[in-house]
């Protein structure tokens, strides 16, 4: 009887298969693309800091290590871990590969999760999301429909020519965020511009506007950097704290077209630099109060008291001389 039960359990195990699918996280991007093409799967790239990034560790624990995710990934995804550790060293070729991919895909924070087709062309970007594996899987499934819509538009374009073809190619790019279209599909953009020399579809004009906006942002960044390094920092270094407010007010008057976000960051950073130098909690609190008054819809107005408490606690802990306290 026991033997029969044992055979029955064995048969059941064979029929059902393993309860948790085994998944492998690759580190070689080239080999991962080959596997994705062979298995007709998408690529999921996880740009992570495995030994220092708290949100990366949470994403791995709450989502990537869960059986629901592993089962889905085994069927649909080739997983690639692109690590940027601080406490250990990767092989030089991996370090270079990860750096290059992060630069190509404009990764500026961790974790960044990219979904790519088997050729390595990105079509969606995401990161940490609260809620665990099931909501995250629904999110990934929705993102993967972007590739389906993209490919449908590419297929329609292949049957057309001229401006009509360009229009379908634009629909394909419109499925994705604009930054991904520029990063991952430069040849498609070039083809649209070639097919539409009169700019009937407006892509050339839109790109000119975008380029002008990017140049304006870069120019403002240089002006802000020059003001902070050439005026504010020397004042702090020589202890001329009483002159900071006047210098800041003069700068803001000279640049009335400075966007609100830039004004907020500048006022805050000047106050923060002063606090780091002289530890005046009241002055830093006054800076947050000023931001709350001048920008009533900002987070400074909505969470000012909480921000002051958190900032004071953090800066007291991190100020030089407090490391061992």
For residue 100 the two structure tokens come to 């290059």
Q: Is residue 275 part of a domain?
A: yes
With the CA atoms of 150, 156, 158 and 161 taken in that order, what torsion angle do they form, in degrees rounded to the nearest 10?
A: -120
Q: Which of 99-108, 223-232, 306-315 has the highest mean pLDDT?
A: 99-108
Q: Is residue 325 part of a domain?
A: no
Q: How confident is the model at residue 310 (pLDDT cuts 50, 70, 90)?
A: confident
**Based on the domain organization, do 28 and 138 belong to the same domain?**
yes
**Based on the domain organization, do 203 and 237 belong to the same domain?**
no
Q: How far apart are CA 48 and CA 62, in angstroms?
A: 15
- Which of 86-95, 130-139, 316-325 shows the lowest mean pLDDT across its residues? 316-325
Which domain range does residue 255 map to? 209-315
**Based on the domain organization, do 131 and 20 belong to the same domain?**
yes
**Based on the domain organization, do 169 and 189 belong to the same domain?**
yes
Q: Is residue 103 part of a domain?
A: yes
Number of domains making up the chain: 3
Strands, E assignment, the chain: 25-26, 42-48, 77-83, 112-116, 122-126
Out of 109, 143, 177, pick the residue that ends a domain: 143
For residue 109 the two structure tokens come to 């924070």
Out of 180, 207, 234, pick the residue that ends a domain: 207
**Based on the domain organization, do 136 and 154 belong to the same domain?**
no
Q: How confident is the model at residue 103 (pLDDT cuts 50, 70, 90)?
A: very high
At 3 the pLDDT is 46
For residue 61 the two structure tokens come to 């624990």
Q: How far apart are CA 242 and CA 185, in angstroms?
A: 52
Q: How far apart are CA 248 and CA 256, in angstroms?
A: 12
Nearest to 265 by CA among 309, 237, 227: 227
Q: Is residue 128 part of a domain?
A: yes
Integer distance in angstroms from the first to the last C-alpha of the chain?
Answer: 69
Q: Is residue 42 part of a domain?
A: yes
Q: Kindly report, residue by residue over 17-68, the tens digit of the pLDDT.
A: 445 556 899 999 999 999 999 999 999 999 999 999 999 999 999 999 999 9
Out of 114, 143, 172, pick the residue that ends a domain: 143
Q: Is residue 322 part of a domain?
A: no
With the CA atoms of 238, 242, 243 and 246 taken in that order, what torsion angle do they form, in degrees rounded to the nearest 10?
A: 160
**Based on the domain organization, do 113 and 192 belong to the same domain?**
no
**Based on the domain organization, do 20 and 35 belong to the same domain?**
yes
Q: Is residue 323 part of a domain?
A: no
**Based on the domain organization, do 137 and 77 belong to the same domain?**
yes
- Which of 62-71, 85-94, 104-113, 234-243 shows the lowest mean pLDDT across its residues? 234-243
The SS3 call for residue 112 is: strand
Q: Kindly report, residue by residue over 154-195, the tens digit of the pLDDT.
A: 999 999 999 999 999 999 999 999 888 889 999 999 999 999
pLDDT: is 282 or 62 the higher one? 62
List the alpha helices (DSSP H) in 107-202: 133-158, 162-174, 178-184, 186-195
Q: Is residue 238 part of a domain?
A: yes
Burial code (b: 16+ CB inside 10 Å, e: under 16) for 66-88 equals beebbbbbbebbbbbbbbbeeee
**Based on the domain organization, do 114 and 224 belong to the same domain?**
no
């Amino acid at each position: 009887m026991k033997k029969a039960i044992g055979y029955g359990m064995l048969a059941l195990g064979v029929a059902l298969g393993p309860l948790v699918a085994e998944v492998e996280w690759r580190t070689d991007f080239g080999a991962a693309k080959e596997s994705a093409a062979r298995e007709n799967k998408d690529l999921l790239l996880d740009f992570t800091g495995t030994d220092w990034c708290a949100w990366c560790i949470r994403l791995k624990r709450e989502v990537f290590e869960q059986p629901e995710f592993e089962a889905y990934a085994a069927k649909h995804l080739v997983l690639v871990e692109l690590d940027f550790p601080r406490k250990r060293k990767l092989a030089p070729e991996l370090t270079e590969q990860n750096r290059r991919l992060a630069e190509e895909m404009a990764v500026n924070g961790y974790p960044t999760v990219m979904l790519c087709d088997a050729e390595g062309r990105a079509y969606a970007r995401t990161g940490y999301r609260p809620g665990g594996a099931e909501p995250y899987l629904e999110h990934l499934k929705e993102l993967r429909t972007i590739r389906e819509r993209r490919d449908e538009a590419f297929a329609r374009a292949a049957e057309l020519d001229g401006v009509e073809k360009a229009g379908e190619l634009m629909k394909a790019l419109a499925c994705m965020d604009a930054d991904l279209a520029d990063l991952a599909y430069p040849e498609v953009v070039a083809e649209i511009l070639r097919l539409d020399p009169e700019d009937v579809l407006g892509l050339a004009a839109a790109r000119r506007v975008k380029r002008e906006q990017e140049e304006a942002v870069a120019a403002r960044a240089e002006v802000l950097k020059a003001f902070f390094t050439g005026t504010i920092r020397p004042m702090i270094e020589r202890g001329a704290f009483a002159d900071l407010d006047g210098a800041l007010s003069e700068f803001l008057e000279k640049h009335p077209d400075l966007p609100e976000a830039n004004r907020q960051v500048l006022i805050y950073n000047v106050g923060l630099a002063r606090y780091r130098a002289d530890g005046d909690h009241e002055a830093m609190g006054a800076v947050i109060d000023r931001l709350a008054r001048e920008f009533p819809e900002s987070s400074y107005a909505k969470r000012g008291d909480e921000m002051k408490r958190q900032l004071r606690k953090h800066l007291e802990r991190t100020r030089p001389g407090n490391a061992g306290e």
